[in-house]
Structure 1
Amino acid sequence: MPLIMGMSVLLACQFAGELLARGLAMPVPGPVLGMVILLVGLVIRGRVPDSLRLTAEGLLRYLTLLFVPAGVGLMVHARLIGMDLVAILVTLVVSTALTLAVTAWVLDRLRRRMPGDHVP
């Protein structure tokens, strides 16, 4: 019964996110909004219910299976990927560098706001 309750909570949050995304024509995917709804609910509650924890741990145990379709796609479309390999590699390197730079900048800004011992 706990697994059913936990899955019901996850699916209800995803459904609410889908309704919100489609109803308000938001450019954010419904499952992402559903996760935000779940997060808000958990923050308000102050703890994760045991049924939800059990369900989430079970799903996370098999998370690697979700990468199988992506791996198959890479193998099936290897020729197409090879044709655009330079563009893909440049995009990966630039986006990774940009993400690291923005993360470092945000961390620096947050550290300056924190009281206590830190490097100026």
Structure 2
Amino acid sequence: MPLPNPMVGFSLPDQWPRPVNRDLPSQAMGPPYFYYENVALAPKGVWTIISRFLYDIQLEFVDSKYFCAAARKRGYIHNLPLENRSPLLPKPPRTISTAFPRTKRWWPSWDPRQQFNCL
């Protein structure tokens, strides 16, 4: 299963939503809601198998660097509504320097990282 580039999922909270044609089977609509998450770079075929067991719902791949100072590529299968998504408040910092502003003074010049691999 090819991963999208950029990995922004169905939309980002602070951007205009992209049109998504996601058809949910009737047995997956509404409560009870489910939300399955795993690493995006799972072994070949894993996401296809997982999707098959969860009503063949279209996957959503997101790199968390668009939401916080960590950069983690994740995949999600869920039956949550796509409309009227809103960001968490307060908005989390998206870079190391905004997450830890007092460390900037001691940050080594040879380290160009703007985001962590994980938090």
Report the TM-score, using the length of structure 2 for normalisation. Answer: 0.29
Report the TM-score, using the length of structure 1 for normalisation. Answer: 0.29
Report which structure shows greater RCO (CA 8 Å, sep ≥6).
Answer: 2
Q: Find the structure with the greater CA-based Rg.
A: 1
> Higher helix proportion, which one?
1
